[in-house]
Chain A
Amino acid sequence: MFVITRNSLLCWVLVGGLLSGCGSDEANAGVSRAEVVANYSANLYAAYSDSVLDEQAFQNEVSAFLAEPNENTLANVRASWLASRAHYMLTEGARFYDGPIDGPIDGGQSNHEALLNSWPLDEAFIDYAALDDGVVNEDLGIVNMPEKLPEITAEGLDSLNGENAEPENVSSGYHAVEFLLWGQALEDVGPGKRPATDYLIDGPSKNPDRRADYLNVATEGIISHLKDVRDAWQPSADYRVGFEKNVEQSLTHIFTGLATFSKGELGSQRIGAAYGSKNRHDQHDCFSSETLVDYERDARGVQAMYLGSYGDHDGPGLDDLVKAADPKLDADLKQKLQASIDAIVAIPKPFEDAIAGDDDSPGRKAIQAALTALYEQGDTFGAAAAAIGITITVDDPEE
């Protein structure tokens, strides 16, 4: 779970009725605010739909791997895991407005994002783990404790987590699956080295069947949560209908999500915290060591949401509205969106190597540049929102 912070010196932008006509219907080849919101919704629905398909394709690879666990099939299913996040990461700019992805489920404290993508992961709740001296304790985790849960099922895991009825379910989602495929990343640099034989019946590891069950259940759980989010965005769904109807509020939501995700989440929490701690484990995708792939996808997703594009489709976007109100500002924001992508791409891989060392090392300089770019991008989203008469707040920890 990633909570946003904001500074007391908020970028308060009071525009209200003064400018609200600027970006409206007659501007820019007839692109209306309602069309922008509708296109955003359609793109998001498409992205979540693709995310479900991605995960189902991944599930097939899991089955193939479990049918014949060896290093080749393991390499295949790992590649498929990385691919399975390609579309999901593009959706992350649609957070922080209590929408379907991270709004409370049934009024409770949990939300789909927390169950899909939370980090860190409670590894030793799931499976064996290495102690500080490197010695592995094979008896840890649900996988190795049949007495705690005789049969590993979704319901069984829910009930165990239910014992600790808290929002921080840290034993499910993408990173649980990542852990089950790669294992712990114990070296300073590089991915975990879980052997395929962990899943081999009568192989050297304990409880291969239960480990396989956990992998299957975790994968199925991801599909289930993604479907719920996808369905909330389908054209006839209540949430989608309301979202398209309340155009002004939805524009506020969209800008809030983009600004907060750029600055508070991808910038401050995902990159900035690791930059500050220099700890490799303050990164997403620690097990696979593929963090920078996902950070780039995140940044591209934000860019696409501003442009109203998804894949080959380029529909009415926020850019059309901003351009009509203030062409220079639109150009500036587009430049910043590309600059932050370029800055992330320029970080030398792997991320855990780049965060180490002195502040004038190439890796840390590149990360600092990406942070600066993301912070500027977040602030510019605030200005762009103001230009079309939308008031949002953007955090500003450096003021």
Chain B
Amino acid sequence: MTRGTGLVFCSFFAVLACSGGGASSPEQLPPADPKSGGAATTLDDTSQAYGNSIRKLNDEQAGLFSLGHSVFSRAWVTAPATTDNLDGLGPLFNARACATCHSKDGRSAPFNPTGALLGMLFRLSVPGTAENGGPNPDPVYGDQLRPFGILGVPGDGTPHVTYEELPGNYGDGTAFSLQRPSYSVDGWNYGKPSQGLMISPRTGPSVIGLGLLEAVPEEEILANVHPPDADGVHGTPNYVWDAEQGATVLGRFGWKANQPSTLQQTAGAFVGDIGITSSLFRSGTCSPSMTACNAATSGADPDFELSDQAFRSVGFYMRSLAVPARRDIDDQIALQGERLFTKFGCASCHRTTLHTGAADADALANQTIHPYTDLLLHDMGPELADDRPDYLASGSQWRTPPLWGVGLLQKVNQHSFLLHDARARGFAEAILWHGGEGVTARENFRLAPANERDALLKFLESL
């Protein structure tokens, strides 16, 4: 990569001059740090950009990564099967493979080509809390909607969404439109759900850089907790049940920071989404009234379905996917956009820089990283609210999602749907949906001149 040249320098000012930009800086901005993930950064910027391992793996780790990739991408099948290490699908399930919703280690589109809403999960609960402090599952449907069942077992029901266009205007009068979703379930196959059922639709995020986020010391995350600032931004930690430790600990992963570790997130997704039990979650998900579900053959061998070797390897895989390098690091427009990202207030929650501490892989330990998250919960206002509490997260709080690698989403997954329920069609809509603690930053963006808005978007595309 080359440093900025005089040509770039001049054209930068030409753009500013033509557009009459408000914020101008006479000096040339220095290049950005391309290593978003520190030593765990990959230079790959192709459609496979999310699928690279971190560097400096030892032989054993390389073997775990390879096997973990295989576990992540292969489809599970009905039990019993000859492939006894890959059987036990369902009986109820959302997907047959991790890679279905995390296609190419990224985020699948919410809709499949036939228009079915399959790249998304409906979390379910009823009022009250479970024993461990988490959401109270529906007595029949549990804590998520599984549209599919193996042969002879009906799925829970079919997720459905309709959209209503919401027109709006930028400060300069330019029109935009947002789509507001309404969610429902067609054909509850096991009877009507409980009164007061709450539905929280969530897409599967990309799975890059998780080992880095896991290695950020708790003190560094908590250091960002503060009382509301002038813009009303504060941020609160979630504390959630850690099934492995048998204790309540800081939550870091998931849309509501409702998972304490990649391992628990992974085991939870296996049992909830694919119906695969593991040493961490040994019980299946058929409720007592689901006759065919309970009668179906288990793939357990002998106590659970995901072998410890497969669990260990896929656990390592989840922690060892590298983060794509930032691109266009000396593009003056993108660098200007980065400044605006801070100036508008985006970086108050999407924190630019964090540090990792100890980790079991060299490339993860003691790194300076640029994830653009604080891993904390923020109130995002009524429009984005799912009205479904999750541990300490209220119905309108969401964890700041990391933004690293997001500029490659279109290239890797061929879509640009963003936010927890993929309602935003691109960066601008995602910003415009921000409410609550994000109102000031959103308004700074909405009211900014077009060249500044474009610069901000160009910065996001460089991530």
User: Is B114 within 8 A of A165, CB to CB?
Assistant: yes
A185: min CB distance to chain B, Å: 5
| Chain A to chain B contacts (Cβ below 8 Å), 20 pairs | A3-B99, A4-B51, A8-B53, A9-B55, A10-B44, A119-B74, A121-B77, A123-B77, A123-B80, A124-B78, A124-B79, A124-B87, A165-B116, A165-B118, A168-B97, A279-B85, A286-B83, A397-B57, A399-B56, A399-B57
The majority secondary structure among interface residues of chain B is loop
User: Is A120 within 8 A of B53, CB to CB?
Assistant: no
Chain B residues contacting A185 (CB-CB under 8 Å) are 82
Q: Which of B77-129 contact A (CB under 8 A)?
A: 77-87, 89, 95-97, 99-100, 103-104, 112-114, 116, 118
Is A159 among interface residues, defined by CB-CB distance under 8 A? no
A163-B148, A168-B97 known, 13 other contacts, Cβ within 8 Å: A3-B73, A8-B41, A120-B82, A123-B78, A123-B83, A124-B79, A124-B297, A125-B78, A129-B80, A137-B80, A140-B151, A277-B85, A397-B65
Q: Which of B286-339 contact A (CB under 8 A)?
A: 297, 301-302, 309-310, 313, 322
A281 to B52, CA, bound (A): 26
Partner of B151, one of A10, A120, A148: A148
Residues of B within 8 A of A (CB): 40-44, 46, 48, 51-57, 59, 62-63, 65-67, 69-70, 73-75, 77-87, 89, 95-97, 99-100, 103-104, 112-114, 116, 118, 148, 150-152, 297, 301-302, 309-310, 313, 322
> Interface segment, A203-211, A228-236, A265-273, A381-389?
A265-273
A120 to B77, CA, bound (A): 7
User: Is B80 within 8 A of A131, CB to CB?
Assistant: yes
User: Is B113 within 8 A of A141, CB to CB?
Assistant: no
Chain A residues contacting B150 (CB-CB under 8 Å) are 124-125
A4: min CB distance to chain B, Å: 7
User: Is A120 within 8 A of B81, CB to CB?
Assistant: yes
User: Is A120 within 8 A of B100, CB to CB?
Assistant: no
User: Is B46 within 8 A of A5, CB to CB?
Assistant: no
Chain A residues contacting B51 (CB-CB under 8 Å) are 3-6
A260: min CB distance to chain B, Å: 9
User: Is B55 within 8 A of A108, CB to CB?
Assistant: no
Is A118 among interface residues, defined by CB-CB distance under 8 A? yes
Chain A residues contacting B74 (CB-CB under 8 Å) are 1, 119-120
Known: A120-B83, A398-B57. A168 touches B113 (CB 8 A): no
User: Is B310 within 8 A of A277, CB to CB?
Assistant: yes
Is A130 among interface residues, defined by CB-CB distance under 8 A? yes
B203: min CB distance to chain A, Å: 15
User: Is A170 within 8 A of B77, CB to CB?
Assistant: yes
User: Is B41 within 8 A of A131, CB to CB?
Assistant: no
User: Is A281 within 8 A of B86, CB to CB?
Assistant: yes
Q: Which of A277-296 contact B (CB under 8 A)?
A: 277, 279, 281-282, 286-287
User: Is B44 within 8 A of A8, CB to CB?
Assistant: yes
User: Is B80 within 8 A of A132, CB to CB?
Assistant: yes
A282 to B297, CA, bound (A): 21
Partner of B67, one of A108, A186, A276: A276
From A3, A6, A123, A131, residue with most partner B Cβ within 10 Å = A3
User: Is B55 within 8 A of A277, CB to CB?
Assistant: no
A120: min CB distance to chain B, Å: 4
From B59, B65, B301, residue with most partner A Cβ within 10 Å = B65
